[in-house]
Amino acid sequence: MRKLVAALLLLSAWAIAENPRTLAIRNAKIVTVSGPVIGKGTVVVRNGLIEAVGENASIPDGAWVIDGEGMTVYPGLIDSMSTVGIPSLAPATPPAGRGGRGQTTTTPAPTPAPAATPATTAAPVTRAMGPEDRPATTSWVLAADEIDPSDRRIDSLRSAGFTTTVTFPARGIFGGQGSIIDLASVGHAGEMVVAPAVGQYLAVSRGGGIAGGFGAGFPNALMGYIAYIRQIYLDAGHYKLLKEAYAQSPRGMERPPYDRALEGVLDSKRILLPANRLVEMDRMLRFAAELQQPAILYGMREAYRPEAAPLLKKYGSPVLVSMHWTEAPRDPDPEAYRTMRSLENVDQGPAAPGLLQKAGIPFALYTDGLDQPKELQRAVKKAIDSGLARQDAIRALTLSPAEIYGVADRLGSIEAGKIANLVVTKGDLFDDHTQIQMIFVDGKQYKPAPEPPAGGGRGGAEEPGESQ
């Protein structure tokens, strides 16, 4: 009997050690985001969800208890535009001597070789003759179907406190729809998906090295991209009309051919459009209004300009602000010409979130290719130092993106019933010397990867899941 009991205890201890289904963090400071800060309280997690949170939340029997003395619990951070989870869309290794800094990106980091574009891997390049040929449109794709849990960036981002990304198949002109995924290290990608289809990714350039010229297919110039997109929406509208008419009374009517690209476009409840300069913001907002599509703008480098907030307010579109602040060129030629605009960009770029906050514009921050914890911490800190209140910075990486994507009932704050995505720190999140102690994704605990040695390189990912 004793042996059996001992075996059972051992078994249950092992089970708890591997993956406690019920746990509680107590005596910790809790920043719920949705409500006032709890100076000292408890968060109870069961079955991957937050069961209870409060000063006096009761801890169920058998729960694995973590002593949170001296620690702070935050909702897990959400990266509102990402390619993490789709390894082929990771940015190319930066050229030697430049490092990853100082690069400007207008799209979330995809500078892959054209091999990433499905058309070119399939067959020799067929040059498009107009919008009716659409090699750059893969609108039916869902990021959820391409998630690969072995993407090394998952661990890196998670170690910086991110538990969730809104991952987009960022390629071509209509890349497909983004999916919200939790950064859980699991065997099956499907388990990571929180919401499979949250909006169509649109780009107005192919990025990378496809210099214009007459050899590449349509489109080539910015106005070509806009015409391309416009035509697809016209076609989608027409397609819908025909489909509905055919569905109502097919007899005697030629059937409209099935077009999965147009289906993908019709399925998308919102679109994401790139806009960095003020002129681009104006252009894209008007364009989205013309297309009659709810839109989210991403990039927003010139959001610090005084004209930006009133413009955004007029349209009411939420925006995603890149955290990859423009940096001054390193070791520049002292005589290299710097325009006033680019100087302002470097100087005032990080002030954008604070200004948007004051103007009441709904916005979220996104990592835009940054994935090292130190880089990310510094980037947010810069915004805080430039006028974004700390709690607003936290909100911009938690509840705001959840609201923007319509999943605020599930994510973004520490409230009973929401998904148990948490990050626990010693020190205030985003401060220079703060240590992230542990990260919870869907209630499962992860350790942050160790700091990389000075001089860069990525830290090895620790085996996740082992609780202390």
Partner 1 sequence: MRKSWIVTLAALAPVYAQNIVIQNATIMTVTKGTLEGSLVIKDGKIAEVGEKVMMPLNATVIDAGGQYIIPGIIDCHSHIAVDGSVNEGSVAVSSMVNIKDVINPEDIAIYRALAGGVTAANILHGSANPIGGQTIVLKMRWGRDAQGMIFEGALPGIKFALGENPKRPGNPPGGRGATQTVPARYPATRMGVEDTIREALNQAKAYKAEWDDYAAKVARGEHPLPPRKDLKLEPLKEVLEGKRYVHAHCYREDEILMLLRVADDYGFKIRTLQHVLEGYKVAQEIAASGTGASTFSDWWAFKIEAYDAIPYNAALMQKKGIVVSLNSDDDELIRHLNTEAAKAMKYGGVSETDALAMVTINPAKQLGIDSRVGSIEAGKDADLVIYDKYPLSDYAKVLKVLIDGRVYFDRNNDVNGRPAKALEKQKLLDKEKQSQPKPTGGRGPVQ
Partner 2 sequence: MKLLGILIGCAIAAGGASNDSVLIRGADIYPVSSEPVKAASILVLDGKISEIGLKVVAPKGVRVLDGKGLRVYPGMIDSGTNLGLSEIELIRETVDTGELGEFMPQLRALASVNPDSEHFAVVRIAGITSAMTFPAGAGNDEGGGGRGRPPQYISGQAALIHTFGRTWEEMAISGPAAMYVQFPALGPTGGRGGPVPENVAGLAGETGARTFTEMMRTYQQEMAKLTDFFEEARRYQKAKTASLAGFVRDLKYEAMLPVLEGKLPVAIAAATPRAIHDAIKFAEKENVKIVIVQPRELGSAAAELKAKNIPVILGRVLALPRGQDEPYDEAFTLPAEAYKAGIKFAFGTFENQFVRNLPYQAATAVAFGLPQDEALKAITINPAQIWGAGDRLGSIETDKLADLIVTTGDPLEIQTQVKHVFIRGQEIELSSKQTRLYDKYLNRQ
Q: Residue 214: which of partner 1, partner 2, none does it interact with, CB under 5 to 8 A by kind?
A: partner 1
Q: Is 347 in the site for partner 1 (CB under 8 A)?
A: yes
What does each C-alpha distance from 417 to 180, 267, 423 come to in angstroms? Answer: 18, 29, 17
| Angle made by CA atoms 406, 150, 454, in degrees to the nearest 5 | 100
Q: Is 209 in the site for partner 2 (CB under 8 A)?
A: no
**Tokens for 97?**
């001597």
d(CA 408, CA 282): 28
Q: Is 337 in the site for partner 2 (CB under 8 A)?
A: yes
Residues 279-338 touching partner 1, rule: CB under 8 A, are 279-280, 282-283, 286-287, 328, 330-331, 334, 338
Q: Residue 213: which of partner 2, partner 1, none does it interact with, CB under 5 to 8 A by kind?
A: partner 1
* Rg of the chain in Å (alpha carbons): 24
Q: Is 276 in the site for partner 2 (CB under 8 A)?
A: yes
Cβ neighbour number for residue 2 with a 10 Å cutoff = 6
Q: Residue 68 is which amino acid?
A: G
- Choose between 191 and 282: whose C-beta lies nearer to partner 1: 282
Candidate segments 122-130, 371-379, 402-410, 454-462, binder of partner 1 by CB under 8 A: 122-130
Among 21, 152, 277, 458, binds partner 2 (CB under 8 A): 277
Burial class of residue 48, CB neighbours in 10 A (0-12, 13-18, 19+) = middle
CB of 273 to partner 1, least distance (A): 13
Q: Residue 231: which of partner 2, partner 1, none does it interact with, CB under 5 to 8 A by kind?
A: partner 1
- Residue 433, Cα to own-chain centre: how many angstroms? 25
Do 33 and 408 form a contact (C-beta atoms < 8 A)?
A: no
Interface with partner 2 (CB under 8 A), residue total: 29
HSE-up of residue 64 (Cα within 13 Å, Cβ side): 21
Interface with partner 1 (CB under 8 A), residue total: 46
Among 13, 234, 389, 416, binds partner 1 (CB under 8 A): 234
Cβ neighbour number for residue 426 with a 10 Å cutoff = 13
Among 114, 118, 224, 329, binds partner 2 (CB under 8 A): 329
Residues of the shown chain interacting with partner 1 in the complex, contacts defined by CB under 8 A: 127-131, 212-224, 226-227, 230-231, 234-235, 238, 241-242, 245, 277-280, 282-283, 286-287, 328, 330-331, 334, 338, 340, 343-344, 346-347
